[in-house]
A and B are shown apart, each in its own frame.
Chain A
Amino acid sequence: MPEVPHLAGPRQRTGDLVFRRALLSVALFVVAVVLLLAWSLADGSRLTWKSLGPAFLWSKEWDPVQENFGALPFIYGTLVSSALALLVAVPLGVGCAIFLTELAPRRVADACTFLVELLAAVPSVILGLMGIFLLVPTVRSVEPALARWLGWSPLFRGEPYGVGMLTAGLILTLMVLPYITVITREVLLAVPQPLKEAMLALGATRWETVVGVSLPFARAGILGGIFLALGRALGETMAVTMVIGNTPKISASLLAPGYSMAAVIANELAEAASDEHLSALISVGLVLFGVTIAVNGIARLLIYRVRKA
């Protein structure tokens, strides 16, 4: 982005100085919020870390009544549902982006891009509503078939509840699909025309140009988009909690109900029975905070490298 010109003179007028300082103090508020947020999460979870230590992260039991707190079921649930979502959303999103950049005529592509972006604007709770009343019954009716045909693998065993990891993964797919599509489309549009033309001039088909030139060129950006989508999926709360089953158990099967970090916080924070319970929930929040920063940091690095080019 271009540098904005401003007075570099030795003497700044007072009006300009006051103006700059005032704006700075407002902008620094944002930094203060981040620091305060980190501190308050750390402070609120101190009880848990003191009494349980890092074992909190890999303990499987979550029983507020017995005051047993282990975050593993939620970490597991969050990771698995997000991974599942990416597994489906990445090919779909990239395919959709290729359609928008290579296939569709300009006006159709513009309209479709707008519609895909609209999908990102649908509030999470509404997607959850769709999840409960449309997706869950559908999955419930499909699950017996899955269990029968794929039940040899531990991934598809269990009762057809309808709610569970599979459903959560599918609903998350809907949420992250627009992000992957939009970012992939952006980076594909940024592939230099001369590069593509060189490939075409060698006699390649348009598809071969996409695979041979465009996708490799856009690789870092697409990866960045995937990490961004992952960050989104990890923190997604409402849609997930409405379809995942809210059971703090770890199971290999995708058909089994599970739990996620964001979901347990949403369900239990308001009625946290004891200080230990509250602290455990805030600790889960701290884990979510840390994971999000890490994933988004990677995403930003990848996308930044693309924007520079």
Chain B
Amino acid sequence: MILEAQALSAGYGGPPVLKSINLQFREREITAIIGPSGCGKSTFIRCLNRMHEITPGAELHARILLDGRDVMKMDPVLLRRQVGMVFQRPNPFPTMSIFDNVASGLKLNGLGDRRRLAEAVEKSLRSAALWDEVKDKLREPGLSLSGGQQQRLCIARALAVEPRVLLLDEPCSALDPIATARIEELLLEIKKELTLVIVTHNMQQAARVSDRTAFLLMGELIEYDETQKIFTKPSDRRTEDYITGRFG
């Protein structure tokens, strides 16, 4: 168990969006979080790296443990170096080149050695399956890439700081099917090194990619089990209704 959320409740100042969720994530596994719109899945993973607090009025009551250490007592900046995040829409830094984008996490945290930076950038771009496409144009602006490439760039950027866990908030929802497939492929590769938590509204994606799946409904955790089991023989009626499309 590398990451664990206990009794996690969160909101934005009004009624709670998440109600006392208990979820554990195993090392080097991909856990998918599925559920209908508004069920709180994005809010949930933003709590895991304490990005939720940034929203004005945000409230969070939880015990979140990373390797057994209470995350709420940590410096959020240090936490985020260990728990990285990839967002729904690709967001490379507009003023930076491809190289600088990938290196940004390292550079901004003080690494100046050019050789080590270059090595780290190449390694991350290879892990993100982007190296071959951009190795000759590392100095070009990050925004000059296609949407799918930009998202892989953001994944490389997140990987460069060598986090233990990578959170992905619907990373393919803004991409076409081919780009989506490439990212799903590379997630399966990345999980050999890291733990991944992916929020998705695409059930087929969850079935394809994840080892375990958690189903959230209206802020509550309904079911959490091996992906195979969730999609073939779910225990809860509500899970079954969602998976078979009776509501969405």
Q: Which residues on A are within 8 Å of B, measured CB to CB? A: 3, 5-9, 13
Contact A3 B56 (CB under 8 A): yes
Among residues of A, the one whose C-beta sits closest to the C-beta of B55 is: A5
Contact A7 B56 (CB under 8 A): no
Contact A8 B58 (CB under 8 A): yes
- Cα separation A41 to B102 with both chains bound (whole Å): 56
Contact B53 A8 (CB under 8 A): yes
Q: Which residues of A have CB within 8 Å of B234? A: none
Contact B54 A8 (CB under 8 A): yes
Q: Which residues of A have CB within 8 Å of B56? A: 3, 5, 8
Contact B75 A6 (CB under 8 A): no
Pull 17 A–B residue pairs with CB atoms less than 8 Å apart, ordered by A. A3-B56, A5-B54, A5-B56, A6-B54, A7-B53, A7-B54, A7-B76, A8-B53, A8-B54, A8-B55, A8-B56, A8-B58, A9-B50, A9-B53, A9-B76, A13-B75, A13-B77
- Cα separation A9 to B49 with both chains bound (whole Å): 13
Among residues of A, the one whose C-beta sits closest to the C-beta of B76 is: A9
Q: Which residues on B are within 8 Å of A, measured CB to CB? A: 50, 53-56, 58, 75-77
- Cα separation A203 to B50 with both chains bound (whole Å): 57
- Cα separation A5 to B76 with both chains bound (whole Å): 15
- Cα separation A8 to B54 with both chains bound (whole Å): 6
Among residues of A, the one whose C-beta sits closest to the C-beta of B51 is: A5
Seed contacts A6-B54, A8-B56, A8-B58; 15 additional CB < 8 Å A-B pairs: A3-B56, A5-B54, A5-B55, A5-B56, A7-B53, A7-B54, A7-B76, A8-B53, A8-B54, A8-B55, A9-B50, A9-B53, A9-B76, A13-B75, A13-B77
- Cα separation A13 to B77 with both chains bound (whole Å): 9
- Cα separation A8 to B50 with both chains bound (whole Å): 10
Q: Which residues of A have CB within 8 Å of B76? A: 7, 9
Q: Which residues of B have CB within 8 Å of A6? A: 54
B63 CB to nearest A CB, Å = 16
A1 CB to nearest B CB, Å = 14
Among residues of B, the one whose C-beta sits closest to the C-beta of A15 is: B77
A307 CB to nearest B CB, Å = 21
- Cα separation A5 to B55 with both chains bound (whole Å): 6
Q: Which residues of A have CB within 8 Å of B53? A: 7-9
B12 CB to nearest A CB, Å = 11
Which 10 pairs across A and B sit closest by C-beta, in order of nearness? Answer: A5-B54, A9-B53, A8-B53, A3-B56, A9-B76, A7-B54, A8-B56, A5-B55, A8-B58, A6-B54
B232 CB to nearest A CB, Å = 41
Among residues of A, the one whose C-beta sits closest to the C-beta of B54 is: A5
Q: Which residues of B have CB within 8 Å of A9? A: 50, 53, 76
- Cα separation A7 to B51 with both chains bound (whole Å): 9
- Cα separation A13 to B74 with both chains bound (whole Å): 11
Q: Which residues of A have CB within 8 Å of B75? A: 13
- Cα separation A6 to B58 with both chains bound (whole Å): 11
B88 CB to nearest A CB, Å = 16
Q: Which residues of B have CB within 8 Å of A7? A: 53-54, 76
Q: Which residues of A have CB within 8 Å of B55? A: 5, 8
A14 CB to nearest B CB, Å = 11
B87 CB to nearest A CB, Å = 13
- Cα separation A3 to B77 with both chains bound (whole Å): 21
A11 CB to nearest B CB, Å = 8
Among residues of A, the one whose C-beta sits closest to the C-beta of B75 is: A13
B220 CB to nearest A CB, Å = 25
Q: Which residues of A have CB within 8 Å of B54? A: 5-8
B120 CB to nearest A CB, Å = 24
B47 CB to nearest A CB, Å = 13
- Cα separation A9 to B56 with both chains bound (whole Å): 10
- Cα separation A6 to B77 with both chains bound (whole Å): 12
Q: Which residues of A have CB within 8 Å of B50? A: 9
B212 CB to nearest A CB, Å = 30
A111 CB to nearest B CB, Å = 28
B219 CB to nearest A CB, Å = 21
Q: Which residues of A have CB within 8 Å of B77? A: 13
A106 CB to nearest B CB, Å = 26
Among residues of B, the one whose C-beta sits closest to the C-beta of A5 is: B54
- Cα separation A3 to B76 with both chains bound (whole Å): 21
- Cα separation A309 to B35 with both chains bound (whole Å): 37
- Cα separation A162 to B5 with both chains bound (whole Å): 84
A96 CB to nearest B CB, Å = 36
Q: Which residues of B have CB within 8 Å of A5? A: 54-56
- Cα separation A24 to B56 with both chains bound (whole Å): 20
Q: Which residues of B have CB within 8 Å of A8? A: 53-56, 58
A9 CB to nearest B CB, Å = 5
Among residues of A, the one whose C-beta sits closest to the C-beta of B52 is: A8
B81 CB to nearest A CB, Å = 14
- Cα separation A13 to B50 with both chains bound (whole Å): 15
